[in-house]
Amino acid sequence: MTTRPERHIGTFLLIVLSTVLGLAGTDLVLPAVPELPRLLGGDLTRAQMVLASFTAGSAAGLLLFGALGARYDQRRLLALSLLAYGLISAACRFSGSLDMLVALRFAQGAAGSAAAVFAPGLLRRLYGDSGAVGALGLLGSIESLAPALAPLFGLWLLRLFDWRASFDLLAILALALAAIVTARYRHLPATTAQRVAGGYGRLIADPCFMRYAISQACTLGGLLIFVFGAPTVFTVTLSGTVSDFIFMQMIGIAFFIVFANASGALGRRFGDETLITLGTAIAAAGGVAMLVYALSGGRNIAIVTALFPMLNVGLALRGPAGFHRAIVAAKGDDARGAAIVIVAILLITSLGTAAVAPFIAHGLPALAAGAALVEVSGLLAVLMLPRLVITGR
């Protein structure tokens, strides 16, 4: 028997808020990145590392919490993660240099990663398999608002106060959520130890599992690489503003929400595998179209904004079913399976952002090339690796 998210609305929202807060650790800080070299010293390349360091730290934390979550109570780990995230966020505001901020951002990303890796398993236990697909779709729709609203709010904080205000807000929210999770401890679904032989090595060696993990990571990673570099490209090389970037984000997120909410019905009609392939192909086509426009000398922000939703639509169509199939393909090792998928997303994002950073001053061609390469790699994974065979359906 399955239930819908409204049947456990308080618990569902607590899981959502915990995961969204981790996303906000990047998006809330984005508007301040172009200003950091002037405020803390350094250059644009090092300022981009403030973003890359956070995602790399999150990847390390996900692997840690994936292993711990298979052995210990995930509810207690979630509360401890939020507590550490809040304390390190508070420490970030006292950074006296970019190097110090980069180091603290790694620790911040690692500390706040538990919610992302535990959420899919918690939702499966809360709603069952068929209900979890809908819950993951709703979670994705809500999470998608963070890249649109957090930069807007971060820009408001930057203009009203300074770059430290974003870290102050993250600290306050994380500490408050840690207290709520502790108080509502028994409302979250209980977890049991997952005794599955092979650990991470078994999953990485499984080509079926990796089909979904790699394609999910590339589809989202290519989008994030573009988003992370867009504020600098818009303001430094395209003569635009941070507001132009935020407008592009809002358009992209609007498309994402519409298609993510339609993906469940489309999957039931055409099949999840068809939707996964179609969504991955649309995202890859969007990355290639952006690169072709950039290499042709295009500098019109309106055209960039018009091409950007293809990346969002592709992710929206394949995201919920793709993530759920990765968890199912993990064959009982939910925590480690979710950890690998999200680690792959963050590693691709971090490495891609770092690879593009030295060329970011050259503008749109370098950024579009990085995003397109990753998106096309995701499509190749879908086309070349074996599909999951689900029996009894």
Amino acid letter for position 30 = L
Give the CATH number of the domain where residue 295 resides.
1.20.1250.20
Quickly state the pLDDT bin for 132 (edges 50, 70, 90). Answer: low
Domain membership flag for residue 195: no
Q: Is the pLDDT of residue 192 over 70?
A: no
Q: Is the pLDDT of residue 299 over 80?
A: yes
Span 274-292, average pLDDT: 95
Rounded to whole angstroms, the Cα distance separating 292 from 303 reads 12
**Token match 């239930």: residue?**
3
Query: Which pLDDT does position 5 carry in this prediction?
Result: 47
| Lowest-confidence pick of 3-7, 53-57, 60-64, 141-145 | 3-7
Q: Is the pLDDT of residue 308 over 80?
A: yes
Q: Find the helix packing angle between 44-69 and 74-92, rounded to 10°.
A: 160
Rounded to whole angstroms, the Cα distance separating 386 from 207 reads 7
Please state whether 391 falls in left (phi above 0), alpha (psi between -120 and 50) or beta.
beta
Q: Tell me, what DSSP letter sits at residue 274?
A: H
Query: Which pLDDT does position 106 carry in this prediction?
Result: 93
Can you give the residue range of the structural domain that contains 96? 7-189+200-384
Q: What is the pLDDT of residues 68-91, one digit of tens each?
A: 877 777 888 888 999 999 999 999
Query: Which pLDDT does position 376 carry in this prediction?
Result: 96
Span 281-298, average pLDDT: 94
Rounded to whole angstroms, the Cα distance separating 233 from 354 reads 15
Sequential DSSP letters for 65-89: HHHHHTTS-HHHHHHHHHHHHHHHH
Q: Is the pLDDT of residue 197 over 70?
A: no
Query: Which pLDDT does position 1 carry in this prediction?
Result: 39
Rounded to whole angstroms, the Cα distance separating 351 from 339 reads 18
Overall domain count for the chain? 1
Question: What is the pTM (predicted TM-score) of this model?
Answer: 0.73
Domain membership flag for residue 392: no
Residue 275, token pair as written in the block: 């939707």
Span 27-31, average pLDDT: 80
Domain membership flag for residue 194: no
Q: Is the pLDDT of residue 10 over 80?
A: no
Domain membership flag for residue 78: yes
Query: Which pLDDT does position 287 carry in this prediction?
Result: 95
Quickly state the pLDDT bin for 129 (edges 50, 70, 90). Answer: low
Q: Is the pLDDT of residue 238 over 60?
A: yes
Domain membership flag for residue 391: no
Q: What is the pLDDT of residues 145-161, one digit of tens each?
A: 676 677 777 878 878 88
Domain membership flag for residue 292: yes
CA distance readout (Å), 57 to 18, 126, 210, 350 = 17, 29, 22, 9
Domain membership flag for residue 393: no
325 versus 312: the higher-pLDDT residue is: 312
Amino acid letter for position 234 = F
* Total Cβ atoms within 10 A of residue 271: 12
Query: Which pLDDT does position 14 carry in this prediction?
Result: 82
Domain membership flag for residue 375: yes
Residue 264, token pair as written in the block: 């469940």
Q: Is the pLDDT of residue 279 over 80?
A: yes
Please check whether residue 339 is in contact with residue 71, taking contact to mean a CB–CB distance below 8 angstroms.
no
Rounded to whole angstroms, the Cα distance separating 126 from 190 reads 9
**Token match 């990753």: residue?**
374
Please check whether residue 350 is in contact with residue 62, taking contact to mean a CB–CB distance below 8 angstroms.
no
Span 346-364, average pLDDT: 85
CA distance readout (Å), 100 to 47, 152, 271 = 12, 26, 49
Query: Which pLDDT does position 393 carry in this prediction?
Result: 45
Q: Is the pLDDT of residue 325 over 90?
A: no
Query: Which pLDDT does position 117 carry in this prediction?
Result: 82
For all residues of the chain together, what is the average pLDDT?
A: 83
81 versus 33: the higher-pLDDT residue is: 81
Quickly state the pLDDT bin for 62 (edges 50, 70, 90). Answer: confident
Quickly state the pLDDT bin for 347 (edges 50, 70, 90). Answer: confident
